[in-house]
Structure 1
Amino acid sequence: MTDRAPYAADPANHGGREFPARRGGHDTAEPGERRGPRTDFQRDRDRIIHSMSFRRLKAKTQVFIAPDGDHYRTRLTHSLEVAQIGRVLARALGLDDDLTEALCLAHDLGHPPFGHAGEAALHEAMGRHGGFCHNAQALRTVMRLESPYPGFDGLNLTWDVLEGLAKHNGPVTAPNWALAERDAEFPLDLKTWPSLEAQVAAVSDDIAYDNHDIDDGLRAGFLSLDDLLEVDFLADQWRAVERRFPGAPRDRQLRELVREQIGLMVNDVLTHTRAQVEGLGSVEEVRGAGRQLAGFSPEMAEHERTLKAFMYEKLYYHPEQVAAAERARDTVARLFVAYSQDASLMPDEWQERLPQTDPGRARTITDFIAGMTDSFAMRCCAQIYGERPRGLTNV
């Protein structure tokens, strides 16, 4: 294993936890103290894996809404694939791979049902009350909503994990209400760049969905080889695959194309990031660098932007996808209206915690809906309105 780099986050010297370690009554440690076989970042990862919010990702949309097929990715399998790429990058760079893995596994915990379509519906419904953002909702989830311990709300993750979730895409200069509330209660230094582990988690997410969405799009028939060959970067890799595996079944060649691209992107990130961090001696210097250090080279970044534009045109904005997204948005919007008008439609435990006035009331209703799986949201809509939403399965 690669030696720990001087600019890596240190689980024995992390930024602490919001609540004192002993309040939870479970195996944890104060900063600098080691109890049991796990580091604090390993404990954080395990708390995320054992959370109900993580388990529910198995039935939340990644690309296709409520797909019939068993082989399409969900938010859960996507998160696992992000974590696999993240660990590879972190180990090769000498970073803390447990912190990286925890961030990769938790980055989508705030996603509502039906992916970005559900997020758009909740943002519109919450327009008068500060809107909705899945990144901020992930932080709200691990800090307040997911509460298995008797001594405090939330999972009581280390500052380093919370910081990485809050700003894995970079500094936050205008936090929405959810992020601002959490930052006020446990300051996360929002205006600086995060650790390299958080930056690696972000680029791992890009690598995973850029390429695995191609795989799912091909399986669904929304993308074809001819489509892929319109992108020079993909065409170059396809020709290389054909030369290496002439006569192989087409489906295996296409899967090899996806693997080849992931490898190219991973190696590019390693080369570029090593050059960017040369001479840095601490994680504090990473946060104070004032720029992104872990990511694609300028050339690969341009390829990646071209690939994203292609995927939006051919897959994400495919007419069938757009139609399904509109039906999904309508389902979420109708749920919000129903619960706002009649709170008795919500489970007892949610009624008990529901404030009487806004914005707290609307935000709690949003918390309930955001935690739903695709299938549960459709069942709730059917129970309230008398019919199951139609046309949401588009593959």
Structure 2
Amino acid sequence: MILNRLYTHQRTGNHPATAASRTDFQRDFDRIIFSAAFRRLQNKTQVFPLPGSVFVHNRLTHSLEVSSVGRSLGSVVGEFIFDKYEKELDENAQNFYRHNLQNVIAAACLCHDVGNPAFGHSGEDAIASYFEKNESDLKQKFSEKEWADLVNFEGNANAIRVLTHQQNGKDEGGTQLTFSTLASIAKYPCEAVAKSKGILHRKKFGFFQNEKNTFLEIAKAVNLIQESEEPTIFKRHPFVWLVEAADDICYNIIDMEDAHRLKIVSTLDCENLFLELIKSENANTKRVEDKLAILTNANERISYLRAKVINALINKSVEIYQNNFSKILEGNLEKALLDIYKSENKALQEIESFSREKIYGHKAVVEIENAGYNVMNELLDHFIPPVLKQKSERKSYDRMALKLLPEQFVYESGTDYQKVLGVIDFVSGMTDNFATDLYRKIKGIDIGMTM
């Protein structure tokens, strides 16, 4: 049965499974927690500018919360699979779904954003746009598929690279996670030339050409359904839906809570939106109303309602997942779990509409996106032209620029594509503060000795 073959203990770097007090999937979680890529998320923008006088979520706190929600989803779904298919599952699979699916989903949720650059989505746009704007000078240096990677730069694809790529001077296999965890973050399991906006699993792309063989190895190990060999397209892994749902639940709801703390959204508006969603799933809200009668602190009231909303959305996501489980296994579900719910729930539609108007269009958010776009573009323009020149053609200012590139990102003997990916690795891995500081230094805005 396919459920027996959806997971594997195999990990990148060909490191064998080890007998220890932790399972391989718990080890994935721990490896991510201690990784530099994960730590850097603490100073990467989620939505609102960092730092501010009021604490708001960054990419790291967001990922931790998504992981918590993902663990809950994985636990309930694991029990569902065990209960419904127990007789068809082999002994290892029974153990996996009862005890370890939750660990895989929690680990995948934890690292789902490690490929995202600084400054939120504007950082992604800046990298892609840099190559679009310089097409006449750069395109001829790359193959069609390599160029597609660059002009469509995507945090999801970059996450696979960050987690699996062997940097100069480092161990092979990157973070050395199991293929099960890596497959669970592949929302768009296709190459860039196969991108198609109207198709969910091809809305973006999931791996760079440099990591294509690694992804093919992952796909084979966890039995992804192949839709096309040329271009390479797979159906989503069944675990992806749970990771996506956890992410969707958190950013839909917690961005609202952050906006309330920043006084962008009033307490009354926030309470009403959250209460409407709770009421849509629970006709008897007396317990909630009784609790609110006790709580007088505005932030505490919103935090309480946020927790109730997240719980309601977890339960609904599990229900939709179970109802569509056959389609998910076949790779034929065409809408995200929360989008399915949103289409039938006016309260969730209202939250999304309100967020789009009041939060994502707020001046502070737009300002950080504009600033981030310019910072990232300038950094790429400082490093990419010099790195693409032959050593003999580099002027002194080219050589000085490249001295700022750490050794692990320099692929002097590689192709132009690999050299450029090294620069993107460096720039996309920067925190907001580091990128801003380096930008100010190379532009001559800040001059002086800093460490």
TM-score band by shorter chain is 0.7 to 0.9
Q: Is 2:321 aligned against 1:273? A: yes
Equivalent residue number for residue 360 of structure 1: 418
**CA offsets per residue over residues 220-264 of structure 1, 9 Å max, x none?**
121113544785x65464997555422632332222221121111
**CA offsets per residue over residues 70-98 of structure 1, 9 Å max, x none?**
62111111100001011111112224111
**CA offsets per residue over residues 263-286 of structure 1, 9 Å max, x none?**
111111222323333xx6xxxx95
SS in structure 2 of the partner of residue 126 of structure 1: helix
SS in structure 1 of the partner of residue 367 of structure 2: helix
**CA offsets per residue over residues 313-370 of structure 1, 9 Å max, x none?**
1101112321221112111111111223433352341564356863333322111110
Q: Which moved more, 1:53-62 or 1:348-357?
A: 348-357
- Indicate if the aligned counterparts of 2:278 and 2:312 stay in contact, CA closer than 8 A: no
**CA offsets per residue over residues 158-204 of structure 1, 9 Å max, x none?**
22222222227997448759434423344124421212x32111100
Equivalent residue number for residue 30 of structure 2: 46
Letter in 1 for 2:322: R
Equivalent residue number for residue 392 of structure 1: none
Equivalent residue number for residue 183 of structure 1: 212
Distance 1:126 1:102, change over 3 A: farther
Letter in 2 for 1:349: E
CA distance in 1, matches of 2:293, 2:200: 47
Which residue, 134, 159, 163 being the options, matches 1:142? 163
CA distance in 2, matches of 1:357, 1:115: 29
Equivalent residue number for residue 66 of structure 2: 82
SS in structure 2 of the partner of residue 167 of structure 1: coil
Which residue, 172, 175, 180 being the options, matches 1:155? 175
CA distance in 2, matches of 1:138, 1:224: 36
Which residue, 124, 128, 141 being the options, matches 1:123? 128
Q: Which runs of 5+ in 2 are unaligned?
A: 79-96, 136-146, 190-198, 225-232, 280-284, 386-397, 447-451
- Indicate if the aligned counterparts of 1:168 and 1:194 stay in contact, CA closer than 8 A: no
**CA offsets per residue over residues 50-71 of structure 1, 9 Å max, x none?**
2110111111111112222362
CA distance in 1, matches of 2:33, 2:257: 26
CA distance in 2, matches of 1:57, 1:295: 26
**CA offsets per residue over residues 117-160 of structure 1, 9 Å max, x none?**
2111111113343321000000010111568863x241232222
Q: Is 2:430 aligned against 1:372? A: yes
- Indicate if the aligned counterparts of 1:215 and 1:258 stay in contact, CA closer than 8 A: yes
Q: Is 2:392 aligned against 1:322? A: no
- Indicate if the aligned counterparts of 1:147 and 1:153 stay in contact, CA closer than 8 A: no
Q: Is 2:258 aligned against 1:216? A: yes
Equivalent residue number for residue 24 of structure 1: none
CA distance in 2, matches of 1:17, 1:360: 24
Q: Which runs of 5+ in 1 are unaligned?
A: 1-5, 22-27, 389-395
TM-score, length of structure 2 as denominator length: 0.71
Q: Is 2:255 aligned against 1:261? A: no
Q: Which moved more, 1:239-248 or 1:363-372?
A: 239-248
CA distance in 2, matches of 1:79, 1:101: 10
1:375 CA drift (Å): 0.8
Distance 1:137 1:35, change over 3 A: same
Which residue, 104, 115, 129 being the options, matches 1:99? 104
CA distance in 1, matches of 2:167, 2:32: 9
Which residue, 245, 261, 265 being the options, matches 2:292? 245
- Indicate if the aligned counterparts of 1:168 and 1:198 stay in contact, CA closer than 8 A: no
Q: Which moved more, 1:323-332 or 1:37-46?
A: 37-46
- Indicate if the aligned counterparts of 1:90 and 1:100 stay in contact, CA closer than 8 A: yes
CA distance in 2, matches of 1:299, 1:384: 48
TM-score, length of structure 1 as denominator length: 0.80
Larger Rg over CA atoms: 2
Distance 1:178 1:289, change over 3 A: closer
Percent same amino acid among aligned pairs?
28
Letter in 2 for 1:179: F
Q: What is the root-mean-square deviation of aligned Cα atoms in Å?
A: 3.2
Letter in 1 for 2:354: F
SS in structure 1 of the partner of residue 324 of structure 2: helix
Please list, as runs of the form range in 1=range in 2, the aligned pairs for 1:157-176 lying within 5 A after superposition: 157-167=177-187, 172-173=201-202, 176=205
Letter in 2 for 1:135: N
